[in-house]
A = this chain, B = another copy of it.
C-alpha cells in the first residue's frame, strides 16, 4: 500500500471504458477463486457445469433486459463490431443482392466497405459533407434492398439516432456504443450487434441478437466461424468462447438489472447528458460540435472556441482526476464518454472544471 489516499478517477474513456466498480471487484475475486471452487473462472472448462450456467445466465439476462421476442437468438461471439461488418452481410445479403446503408461516420463507413465485398451496397444517406455532425433524415431506398444498416450512436462525432430510421425495411444495426442504454424495439431488427467494451463488459466479446427467420437465405457457403446458424446451434460454444469477458458481461447485466434495468439507466443517462450539454451551451468558452437534435447521450463532443487553450484545459481536467477527455483527431477538442456505469458525480466533476476554467480564462 504505497498510497493511503488515491484520488478518485473519473473515467471518460471512449472504450474500453468504465464498468461498475462492484463488477471489477467481483470479477477479480472470481479470477482467483470462483464461487469457492478453488479454481479461477478463467481456468475452468467452458463445458463445465459452472461455466455453462454463466453462459445461460448471460443469455437470459440479455433477453430479459432487452425484452427480446420469440424467434430471436442471443449470441456471444468474438471479433468486435468490425467482424460483424462482414459477417452481417455474409449471413443476410443474398448472393448478387443489395442492401442500404446510412453513413454517419467512421464505423458506418467501415461497415459499408466490408459489405461491398458481398453485394450491391447503396449508401442511401451520408452526413460526410458536414464532418458527420448530424444524423441524415430524408433518403430514398432502392426497392431491391434487403435491409437497412445503420450505426445507432457514433462515438467519434458524438451523434445518435433518436428515432428509428424511417423505412419499412428490416433493420440491421451496430449498437456497439449505446446498447442497453435505452429501450429498443427488437422486433424491428433482423440483426443487432455490439462490441461489449462500452456498456456491457471488457473488450473481447461481441453481443449478437439475430432473427432466426432471416438466416439461411443467402445461397452462400459460409465458413463455420462466420455462420450465425452454427453459433445458434452450438449456443455460442462452437469453439471456446471468451469465458472471462462473457462472465464479466454477465456481472454487468446483473448490476444493471439490480439497479432497475434499462428504463432506469436511460433516465440516469439523460440526467448525465443534460447536465453536461447544459454546461456546454451555457459556458462562454465552449461549444458542442454535433447538431443539437442529434447529440449523443453517450459521447458528448465539444470544443473550446479558443483552441489555444486546449492543452491547458486538458491538463486542468487531468488534475481533477478526469481521464480520457481528449477528443478523437477527426473532431478535435474534447469528448466525454459517459456510459452506463458512469455516475453523475463524475459529470459534476467535469462541469466543475469547465466552470472553474471559465472563471479563470473567460
- Give the distance in Å from the alpha carbon of A32 to the alpha carbon of B21 in the complex: 8
Q: In the complex, what residue of chain B is closest to A79 when comparing beta carbons?
A: B78
Chain B residues near A240 (CB-CB < 8 A): 15-16, 80, 195, 197, 203
Let me know if B82 and A238 touch, CB within 8 A: yes
With A17-B43, A43-B19, A242-B245 known as contacts, the answer to whether A9 contacts B28 (CB < 8 A) is no
Let me know if A239 and B80 touch, CB within 8 A: yes
- Interface flag for A320 (CB, 8 Å): no
Number of A positions contacting B (CB below 8 A): 68
Q: In the complex, what residue of chain B is closest to A198 when comparing beta carbons?
A: B240
- Give the distance in Å from the alpha carbon of A238 to the alpha carbon of B79 in the complex: 11
- Give the distance in Å from the alpha carbon of A281 to the alpha carbon of B281 in the complex: 79
Contact with B along A20-34 (1 / 0, CB 8 A): 000011011101110
With A195-B240, A224-B86 known as contacts, the answer to whether A13 contacts B80 (CB < 8 A) is no
With A3-B36, A45-B16, A224-B82 known as contacts, the answer to whether A202 contacts B25 (CB < 8 A) is no
Contact with B along A189-207 (1 / 0, CB 8 A): 0000001010000111100
Chain A stretch 58-87: residues in CB contact (< 8 A) with chain B: 78-83, 85-86
Chain B residues near A203 (CB-CB < 8 A): 42, 46, 240-244
Given contacts A24-B40, A43-B202, A81-B239, 12 further A-B contacts (CB under 8 A): A11-B39, A27-B31, A31-B31, A78-B79, A78-B204, A79-B225, A80-B239, A83-B225, A114-B225, A117-B223, A197-B240, A203-B242
A contact set with B: CB distance below 8 Å: 2-3, 6-9, 11, 13-19, 24-25, 27-29, 31-33, 36-40, 42-46, 48, 78-83, 85-86, 110, 113-114, 117, 195, 197, 202-205, 221, 223-226, 238-245, 248, 321, 323-324
A-B contact pairs, 24 of them (CB 8 A): A9-B38, A9-B39, A13-B43, A15-B45, A16-B45, A18-B43, A19-B40, A19-B42, A31-B31, A42-B203, A43-B202, A78-B80, A79-B79, A79-B225, A80-B239, A83-B225, A195-B240, A202-B244, A203-B240, A203-B243, A204-B204, A204-B242, A204-B245, A245-B245
